[in-house]
């Protein structure tokens, strides 16, 4: 959403029939232009309600410890120490734009249980957990970082025309190559590629 003072983006997804997560994001310049640093939660909420009035369709936002914050990037090379072990967000964070943090946390717990069951010594179980799980998590965390970088440059992307914007959005995490996208959405890719040909002929 573009305003006279900057650009905003909202990630919103339903979690019950009557409620959705509604997460508002903006770049540093926009945040400063609105003076959010000096606004109360209620004032920020009112501004966001006004900016996203169309998307909210007349509904108010419901605050839930709604503070402005930078995404906390957490990554650990060593996953355990003695008889202590890390899982979930304490071990790694994955940007909410790929929506996998909860799944990763639960899958960490499953992987840890399986690794401990497969070994008789706890230390061997913890080593197995890290060796088997780390490459899987690393792939997703890398995709999440690439996706987060895309959102960091959101105002630039908003200047793209429709098909370029859509293509850029879908491929933002670097996990969807053209061949995969062609197999998943042949009509979209045909339209996108046709728009490129028209662009190059002009």
Ligand X SMILES: Cc1cc2nc3c(=O)[nH]c(=O)nc-3n(C[C@H](O)[C@H](O)[C@H](O)COP(=O)(O)OP(=O)(O)OC[C@H]3O[C@@H](n4cnc5c(N)ncnc54)[C@H](O)[C@@H]3O)c2cc1C
Between 148 and 187, how does the x/- string for binding to ligand X read (CB under 6 A)?
A: ----------------------------------------
In terms of CB distance, is 67 or 177 closer to ligand X?
Answer: 67
186 token code pair: 């042949």
**Of 10, 49, 88, 188, which lies in the binding site for ligand X, with binding defined by CB under 6 A?**
88
Q: Which residue, 53, 59, 51, 72, is CA-closest to 20?
A: 59
In terms of CB distance, is 49 or 164 closer to ligand X?
Answer: 49
Closest approach of Cβ 187 to ligand X, in Å? 28
**Of 2, 12, 23, 138, which lies in the binding site for ligand X, with binding defined by CB under 6 A?**
23
Cα separation, 12 vs 57, whole angstroms: 13
The piece of 34-42, 93-101, 132-140, 189-197 that touches ligand X (CB under 6 A) is 93-101
In terms of CB distance, is 96 or 129 closer to ligand X?
Answer: 96
Quick check: 76 binds ligand X (CB under 6 A)?
no
> Long-range pairs for 187-194 at CB < 8 Å and ≥24 separation?
191/163, 192/163, 192/166, 192/167
**Of 12, 59, 81, 103, which lies in the binding site for ligand X, with binding defined by CB under 6 A?**
103
**Of 66, 100, 171, 185, which lies in the binding site for ligand X, with binding defined by CB under 6 A?**
100
Closest approach of Cβ 15 to ligand X, in Å? 8
Instruction: Tell me how many residues contact ligand X (CB under 6 A).
Output: 12
In terms of CB distance, is 68 or 188 closer to ligand X?
Answer: 68
Closest approach of Cβ 198 to ligand X, in Å? 37
Annotate the chain with three-state secondary structure.
CEECCEEEEEEEEEEECCEEEEEEEECHHHHHHCCHHHCCHHHHHHHHHHHCHHHHCCCCCCCCCCCCCCCCCCECCCCEECCEECCHHHCECCCHHHCCHHHHHHHHHHHHHHHHHHCCCHHHHHHHHHHHHHHHHHHHHHHHHHHHHHHHCHHHHCCCCHHHHHHHHHCCCCCCCHHHHHHHCHHHHHHHHHHHHHHHHC
Quick check: 105 binds ligand X (CB under 6 A)?
yes
Quick check: 192 binds ligand X (CB under 6 A)?
no
- Site residues (vs ligand X, CB under 6 A): 13, 23, 88-90, 96, 99-103, 105
């Amino acid at each position: 959403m573009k305003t006279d003072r900057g650009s905003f983006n909202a990630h919103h997804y339903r979690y019950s029939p009557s409620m959705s997560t509604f997460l508002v994001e903006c770049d540093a310049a926009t945040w400063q232009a609105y003076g959010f640093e000096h606004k109360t939660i209620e004032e920020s909420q009112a501004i966001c309600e006004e900016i996203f009035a169309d998307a909210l369709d007349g509904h108010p936002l419901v605050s839930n410890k709604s503070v402005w914050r930078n995404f906390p990037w957490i990554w650990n090379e060593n996953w355990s120490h003695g008889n202590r072990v890390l899982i979930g967000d304490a071990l790694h964070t994955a940007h909410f734009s790929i929506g996998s943090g909860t799944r990763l946390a639960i899958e960490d717990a499953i992987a840890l249980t399986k690794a401990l069951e497969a070994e008789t010594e706890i230390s061997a179980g913890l080593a197995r957990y890290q060796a088997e799980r780390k490459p899987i998590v690393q792939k997703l965390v890398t995709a999440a970082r690439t996706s987060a970088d895309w959102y960091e440059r959101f105002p630039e992307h908003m200047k793209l025309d429709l098909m370029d914007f859509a293509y850029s959005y879908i491929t933002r995490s670097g996990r969807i190559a053209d061949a995969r996208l062609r197999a998943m959405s042949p009509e979209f890719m045909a339209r996108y590629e046709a728009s490129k040909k028209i662009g190059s002929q002009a």
